Amino acid sequence: MKDFIIPIKDKGTPAKSGAPVCLTIDGMSITVPEGTSVMRAAAEAGISVPKLCATDMLEAYGSCRLCMVEIEGMRGTPASCTTPVREGMVVKTQTDQLGRLRRGVMELYISDHPLDCLTCAANGDCELQDMAGAVGLRDVRYAAGENHFETRAAEVENPRYIAKDVSNPYFSYDPAKCIVCMRCVRACEEVQGTFALTVEGRGFDARIATGTNDFLNSDCVSCGACVQACPTATLQEKSVEEIGMPERAVVTTCAYCGVGCNFEAQMRGDQLVRMVPWKEGKANRGHSCVKGRFAWGYANHEDRILNPMIRDAITDPWREVSWDEALEFAAKGIKRAQAKHGKDSVGVITSSRCTNEETFLVQKLARAVMGTNNTDTCARVCHSPTGYGLKQTFGTSAGTQDFDSVEQVDCAVVIGANPTDGHPVFASRLRKRLRQGASLIVIDPRRIDLLETPHMGEGLHLPLRPGTNVAVLTALAHVIVTEELFDEAFIRARCDWDEWSDYAEFAADPAHSPEAVADLTGVPAETLRQAARSYASAPNGAIYYGLGVTEHSQGSTTVIAIANLAMMTGNIGRPGVGVNPLRGQNNVQGSCDMGSFPHELPGYRHVSDDGARAMFETEWNTTLDPEPGLRIPNMLDAAVSGDFKALYVQGEDILQSDPDTRHVAAGLAAMDCVIVHDLFLNETARYAHVFLPGSTFLEKDGTFTNAERRINPVRRVMAPKAGLADWEVTQALANALGADWNYTHPSQVMDEIARTTPSFAGVTYDLIDAQGSIQWPCNAAHPEGSPVMHVDGFVRGKGRFIRTAYIATEERTGPRFPLLLTTGRILSQYNVGAQTRRTENSVWHGEDLLEMHPHDAETRGIVDGNWVRLASRAGETSLRVTLTDRVSPGVVYTTFHHPDTQANVVTTDNSDWATNCPEYKVTAVQVALSNGPSNWQELYEAQSVLTRQIEPAQ
Amino acid sequence: MSPEKLGQMANQIATFFESQPGDQARAVADHINANWAPAMRAQFLDGASEQALHPLVKAALPEIRRPA
């Protein structure tokens, strides 16, 4: 197997940019940017200065004194990590004096360190061990005395000994091995931004501390930055303790959120030992969160189904069969439906959790083999309004920036997103910028954690009432227009002036002023004006938004309003600005790019576009339907009315994730052949007739495209546990339906994508291997890809302003349902929880809780921890309540990670006007005390067991 | 699909376009033609007379493409 890691030397301190400075180190001449440390300059020249407390992920600290050097004209032996280079400097890194001094320092370190190297978990990966070797330590002269590592000395307990903390499920903390280099404390501050760790005491008494009894109960978010930074076995992955040191590493991409972090999958044989964030990864720059770093145990979970299964009726037990029999059964089901009910009675759902290549094949299966455009994807229920809104205004459906852009942001506007939970690695990068002084504006019903960032500059919170996004954003535009804060030069050069004039006239209407809408939105007018001024006057203003924008009846209008704001303030087309949708799942961007939507071929070209269709018709040697197909909610509606009979669902759990569970269940129940292709028997599989076992991201090759349009490599590190990778299963199903597909590797699918999709024309696996990743568009005009879009002009030509009138959702509160429910995500769990619930992450979040303001609770006689009944017009469920003032009175909030909570029994089938994206974020509800799970939940649980039975092997 | 739901969806589309400049009925029809599957359009047109439709949707009806 190809090894994609060229070990990258740690250069000791971070790279700097500045004027060139030339100096001499050990007789070698080297030129580095001003501000660079002597240590890094030496590393650039190929010279390793011994070090313990320095790492290039962190600013220099200068505590270990091992990296001292001699510099001509300077007294003593300065630390090379904290000494910046100067023109003409002459440095010696190795002299007799330095050697003697370093051995003395090492001797002191080792005198307070257990010498159990052979049985230590870090054996072979310990910088203390390496440095003892590097400085030539041969003896420790100090006799045993006071220390931190012996449990007992002379029959007496050692008062300085602190037992190992194993409370965190993924790593241990062993104070006996700590050298107090502070790398963990600094990583927690500088890289992660959580400030969970500190140092207690001074000198010999100094100890690393969490401020509580153990790691699990501290502020620690288990991002792993401290474990990665630790030079010894003090902070160590438990998987390494259990298995041993990995022997090879393959760079791949995380399968969780849309940040798309690159990781080294560190392996021993075909066993995954640990995932370590890759420092060269351009989305994450060497950082990670608890999910990508640690929560990969689901890949080996006993719940995984490894054999294909079929059944005639959903009340029958499952029967394990061969791949051939399962595929034949599935193909027959599809053919039967089409013969009886017409070609459009079948459809497919692609997954944002599968690769671009797999998604491309699934939509190709629908369009070219089944002959229908009935293909949709889970992006329907999250970012479809982004597709519509950004295409209408800018010309293409994608975020405009890369994540590096955040380093140049002066004012960050975060709308309907909770990055510290949903997109943690991006949140850490944003928080770093906020600590440097950038201002923050949060538009969200809930006071999100980002607002609590320590040492942050200005932070404004606009706690709007759920469902009033458009009113708030139009009011921001009103202030920018009427106070003349817009960028006229940009608008004249880049946008259509007539459309701008029309929009300016619309926004200037006093009905859209902050004062006029304050009662409606709940946002104080003065706060809103302040936010508008702050965003418009910042040199670089950037908008980051999430599903709190899109999952509304006016989702598309809100995206348009965001684009309008960016255009009118000239915040488009350079680093530090832009419109940045934070995608929920790892490949939402990719699944949309790949033509998963029923009205769009790959590359966002409408099916009625004759030229685009002709290109695919030639490539696929078939004719394509020029009419749009059905979207997921339409498929379910059609199923209920008897017109839609067979469905192939890849890697998606519509029964749990889609709104109005009863309606989804009715739709699925009305179908004759439901084919579920997944890792686990998910909720949707309760209504399935064919189950095709899926493969994890570790078991296949391919690419994921993250929120910054970055096409990242996914590399196979182990064989598919069920025998076939997902793309091979789709190919086999297509061939069972009469196609003649002969792909032998996903790179051939990418070549086909490049041949047919102009924005991917230059993409090849070779280029991805060479560059690490590629941001589309990548073609003749942008041969290496495009970090920032719309640089010289919008994709559509002139940027287009569109009026954004506020229209209240039909979901209204009233006497029966007086509260508004909104939903979201928590750090440790992911989406429907299919993966994270099958890992130790459940220690942090064992059940979904309803967040409620104490005032609303008191009037209902509810106290913290009570079981409550949550009812809406669509249905009711029960869960436990937690009281918090993060939500305003009148608003309640919950997550949807656990199937037994059934939060989507409560959500309604209201949807976005343009795309039918469901309105998850606004449901009128009532909350009352209850005794426990509702009847529906109990019935559901009972039925769940019944429909998941597998016939014992004969 | 139920004609009520299709009518509701069409009315929702109309509420966006009623504030837009230009030929609003045309815009409503274009949106429906571009995004609704032929079967949805046929069912909607067949049941349109019994639905309480937004005036813009009514004006758009002749422009909505009936599948062959």
Give mean pLDDT, residues A192-203.
Answer: 94
pLDDT at A262 exceeding the cut of 50: yes
Give the mean model confidence (pLDDT) for residues A467-485: 97
Express as a percent the part of chain A with pLDDT over 90. 83
Answer whether A87's CB lies under 8 Å from A72's CB.
no
A34-84 confidence digits (pLDDT tens):
999 999 999 999 999 999 999 999 999 999 999 999 999 999 999 999 999
Q: Is the pLDDT of residue B46 over 70?
A: yes
Q: Which residues of A touch B38 (CB under 8 A)?
A: 344, 627
* Residue A7: pLDDT band with limits 50, 70, 90: low
Instruction: Write out pLDDT tens, residues A823-882.
Output: 888 888 887 778 888 888 888 888 899 999 999 999 999 999 999 999 998 888 899 999
Q: A393 at the B interface (CB within 8 A)? A: no
Residue extent(s) of CATH 3.40.50.740 domains in chain A: 309-381+588-775
Q: Give residue ranges of B with CB < 8 Å to any A CB.
A: 1-2, 5, 9, 12-13, 15-16, 18-21, 31, 34-40, 67
Mean pLDDT of all residues in A345-369:
96
The pair of structure tokens assigned to A562 is 């965001």
Entry pTM: 0.93
Return the pLDDT at A900.
78
Q: Give the integer Cα–Cα distance in Å for A327 and A345.
A: 19
- Contact residues on chain A for B39, CB-CB shorter than 8 A: 344, 630, 638, 643
Question: Which of these ranges, A437-451, A653-667, A717-731, has the smallest mean pLDDT?
Answer: A653-667
The pLDDT tens digits of the residues spanning A94-149 come to: 999 999 999 999 999 999 999 999 999 999 899 999 999 999 999 999 887 889 99
User: Domain spanning A384-581 has what CATH number?
Assistant: 3.40.228.10
Tokens of A853: 């303001």
Q: pLDDT category, A812, cuts 50, 70, 90?
A: confident
What does pLDDT average to over chain A?
Answer: 93
The string of pLDDT tens digits covering residues A132-146 is 999 999 999 988 788
Average pLDDT over residues A892-896: 89
Contact flag B15-A807 (C-beta cutoff 8 Å): yes
Tell me: pLDDT of A694 over 90: yes
Q: Using one digit for the tens of pLDDT, what is the confidence trace for A292-318? A: 999 999 999 999 999 999 999 999 999
pLDDT at A902 over 80: no
The per-residue pLDDT for A1 is 41
A373-407 residues labelled b (16+ CB within 10 A) or e (exposed): bbbbbbbbbbbbbbbbbbbbbbbbbbbbbbbbbbe
Confidence of residue A896 (pLDDT cuts 50, 70, 90): confident
Name the minimum distance, in Å, from the CA of B26 to any CA of chain A.
Answer: 15
Residues of chain A with CATH 3.40.228.10: 384-581
Work out the number of other CB atoms within 10 angstroms of the CB of residue A608: 14
CA atoms within 13 A of residue A771's CA, in its CB half-sphere: 21
Which residue in the set A599, A802, A805 is minimally distant from B35, CB to CB? A599
At A394-415, the pLDDT tens digits run 998 899 999 999 999 999 999 9
B19: closest chain A residue by CA: A805
- Give residue-wise pLDDT tens across range A767-795: 999 999 999 999 999 999 999 999 999 99
Interface of A with B in 600-639 (CB under 8 A): 606, 608, 627-630, 634, 637-638
CA gap A703, A357 in Å, rounded: 7
ipTM, interface predicted TM-score of the complex: 0.95
CB contact under 8 A, A599 and B21: no
In this predicted structure, the answer to whether residue A547 has a pLDDT above a threshold of 50 is yes
Q: Residues of CATH 2.40.40.20 domain(s) within chain A?
A: 819-946
A608 → chain B, closest CA residue: B34
The residue of chain A with its CA nearest to that of B20 is: A803
The predicted model gives A209-217 an average pLDDT of: 92
Chain-chain contact of B16 with A598 (C-beta, under 8 angstroms): no
- Domain A309-381+588-775: CATH class, spelled out: alpha beta
Span A154-181, pLDDT tens digits: 788 999 999 999 999 999 999 999 999 9
pLDDT at A941 over 90: no
Is 50 exceeded by the pLDDT of residue A2? no
Calculate the alpha carbon distances from A478 to A474, A499, A513, A531 in Å: 6, 16, 6, 12
Q: What is the three-class DSSP state of A876?
A: strand
User: pLDDT-based confidence at A940, cuts 50/70/90?
Assistant: confident
How many angstroms separate the Cα of A880 from the Cα of each of A894, A928, A929, A930, A933? 10, 11, 10, 9, 10
Return residues 774-813 of A near B (CB < 8 Å): 802-803, 805, 807
Per-residue pLDDT for A244 more than 80?
Answer: yes
**CATH annotation of A20-134:** 3.10.20.740
The answer regarding whether domain A819-946 maps to CATH 3.40.50.720 reads no
- With beta carbons under 8 A apart, name residues in chain B contacting A627: 37-38, 67
Per-residue CA distances from B8 to A23, A61, A193, B28, B48 (Å):
74, 64, 47, 13, 11
